[in-house]
Chain A
Amino acid sequence: MQRSPATAPTIARLIEAFHRLPGIGPKSAQRLAYHVLRAPRAEAETLAEALLEVKDSTRLCGTCQNITDADPCAICLDPQRNDSTICVVEEPLDVAAIERAGVHRGRYHVLHGAISPMDGVGPEDLKVRELLSRLGDATVQEVILAMNPNLEGEATAGYLSRVIGAMGVRITRIAHGLPVGADVEYADERTLRAAMTHRVEVERDEGTD
């Protein structure tokens, strides 16, 4: 990154640190750095502490492998949740997204990635063994595969359905089709095919005709 000689080295260092974050370009990095510079000392302290704490006190939940402060995590400990279904996702952020939607009341399992055959990323590189150790007794009756609808997600779902199928556990995969807000005209053929395959009956309004 270009550094103007007028920028003090300490500020330049902060700008560079921000610039290394995902999605932060040089301009945004500069804006953030000057924001911190002008902000009260307490705000900078809160930020610095939060940064260090996330490194020091987070770990993986020994059960679901999600990132957590306490092991087992809050979701694994929650007695209200249903033990008979596990929703398997690629990344911790996927758990957060599904939780925000409030559509799953069972447990989770985070793989921390997806199988990528051409990059040599296989099941051994993911938290697959940890998943299998949670199955096999009669507690879990359904595994919901919530992989991304791309080649890596399909490879991962294909592999897991073979392993888990051999364990005699029911496997489902979340449907894919048109996202809300999308245009049919721009959809690719595979998305349209999936949307057509999983089409649903339209309920007729009472009182018409």
Chain B
Amino acid sequence: MPRIRPIRTEAIVLRQRPLGDADRICVLFSPTRGRIEAVAKGVRKPLSKMSGHVEPLSRGQFGLAQGRSLYVVTDAQTLDPWPSLHDDVHRMTEALAMAELVDRSTDVDVSSGPLYQLLRHSLNALAETPSPPAIRWWFTLRFFDQQGYRPELEVCVRCRADVGPEANGYSAVDGGVVCPNCHGAGHGQRLSSPVFRLLRYMRRSSAESTAQVRVDAEASAELERHLRLSLEQALDGWLRSRGFAEDLARAETIGRSAVKSAAEREREEQHRAAI
């Protein structure tokens, strides 16, 4: 067998899964080679020199050798560990959504410089931002633009009429804003004026400026609905990692109701003891 030269590449670790007893398969995303699956050997043992350098949601420099079926990581050195994306579970969920989006939409051995730069920049911004969801919104909009799903925000996607900020709809199927007439005729979901303005603002602004915009709970829920419908169109499905975001949103309610049911159990026991 001819010896294949080992590869050196910078990459962002998108995800990992265990392999056998001690190894992990890492999904790396490289600017020049796209998605790469590589085995990191022995990283689940406590004295592995490599384990901390192949964690998901970090950026590093990797040496890879061609193994029998997958690449094998020969060395790894972290460049951006992004600790806040690991320590703060809310930042983590936003980062996972972005990583999953990239994981599910890129192919092996395809150069993907612009998407790599977008992900790297967004994870950097996410690590610092006071408003994690805004960075994901901004990232998602740029992701659509790059991947050929750019939502139309200037003219009605059905009749091409110019649109003002009021009374519009948003149609994920048609790929953008629907004018008041077409929306009145039953096309698209309601697009409120604040969300319409926010979408246009995000398109022309940086991630950092987007994170400065105050968005109330109602507008943020509406934007999430539109983005979700558009993502489902683009991905032909929904992001698994968003399930965890929903679990987190419910966490405190679950805790409080567990306290209540414990108190009820206690009352019942006292009641039974009294009889």
Count B-side interface residues using an 8 Å CB cutoff: 46
In the complex, what's the smallest C-beta–C-beta distance from A38 to chain B, in angstroms? Answer: 27
In the complex, what's the smallest C-beta–C-beta distance from A81 to chain B, in angstroms? Answer: 21
Cα distance, A171 to B263, chains bound together (Å):
20
Cβ of B20 and Cβ of A23 under 8 Å apart? yes
Q: Which of B89, B243, B254, B256 contacts A120 (CB 8 A)?
A: B243
Cβ of A188 and Cβ of B78 under 8 Å apart? yes
Q: Which of B51, B83, B258 contacts A163 (CB 8 A)?
A: B258
Cβ of A118 and Cβ of B96 under 8 Å apart? yes
Q: Which of A120, A122, A151, A159 contacts B55 (CB 8 A)?
A: A151
Cβ of B89 and Cβ of A154 under 8 Å apart? yes
- B interface: dominant SS: helix
Which residues of chain B are near A133, meaning CB under 8 Å? Answer: 258, 261-262
Q: Which of B20, B46, B49, B89 contacts A22 (CB 8 A)?
A: B20
Cβ of B78 and Cβ of A189 under 8 Å apart? yes
In the complex, what's the smallest C-beta–C-beta distance from B14 to chain A, in angstroms? Answer: 8
- Complex interface residues of chain B between 118 and 159 (CB less than 8 A to chain A): none
Closest B-chain residue to A190, C-beta based?
A: B81
Cα distance, A120 to B242, chains bound together (Å):
9
Cβ of A150 and Cβ of B55 under 8 Å apart? yes
Which residues of chain A are near B20, meaning CB under 8 Å? Answer: 22-23
- Complex interface residues of chain B between 85 and 106 (CB less than 8 A to chain A): 86-89, 92-93, 96, 99-100, 103
B56 within 8 A of A: yes
Which residues of chain A are near B241, meaning CB under 8 Å? Answer: 117-118
In the complex, what's the smallest C-beta–C-beta distance from B110 to chain A, in angstroms? Answer: 21
Cα distance, A183 to B50, chains bound together (Å):
12
Question: Which of B194-202, B203-211, B245-253 has 4 or more CB atoms under 8 Å from chain A?
Answer: B245-253
- Complex interface residues of chain A between 124 and 180 (CB less than 8 A to chain B): 132-133, 135-137, 150-151, 154-155, 158-159, 162-168, 179
A187 within 8 A of B: yes
A181 within 8 A of B: yes
Closest B-chain residue to A115, C-beta based?
A: B244
In the complex, what's the smallest C-beta–C-beta distance from A28 to chain B, in angstroms? Answer: 12
Cα distance, A150 to B13, chains bound together (Å):
13
Mask, A71-110, CB within 8 Å of B = 1, is 0000000000000000000000000000000000000000
Closest 6 A/B residue pairs (Cβ): A136-B262, A188-B52, A158-B89, A166-B255, A117-B244, A162-B251
Contacts A162-B89, A166-B259, A182-B47 supplied; 18 other A-B pairs, CB < 8 Å: A23-B20, A117-B96, A119-B17, A122-B243, A122-B244, A132-B254, A136-B259, A151-B55, A155-B244, A163-B251, A163-B252, A181-B47, A188-B55, A188-B78, A189-B81, A190-B81, A190-B86, A193-B83
B residues near A (Cβ < 8 Å) are 15-17, 20-21, 46-47, 49, 51-53, 55-57, 78, 81, 83, 86-89, 92-93, 96, 99-100, 103, 240-241, 243-244, 247-248, 251-256, 258-259, 261-263, 265-266
**9 A-B pairs with C-beta separation under 8 A:** A117-B243, A118-B96, A118-B100, A136-B261, A151-B56, A163-B251, A165-B252, A188-B52, A189-B83
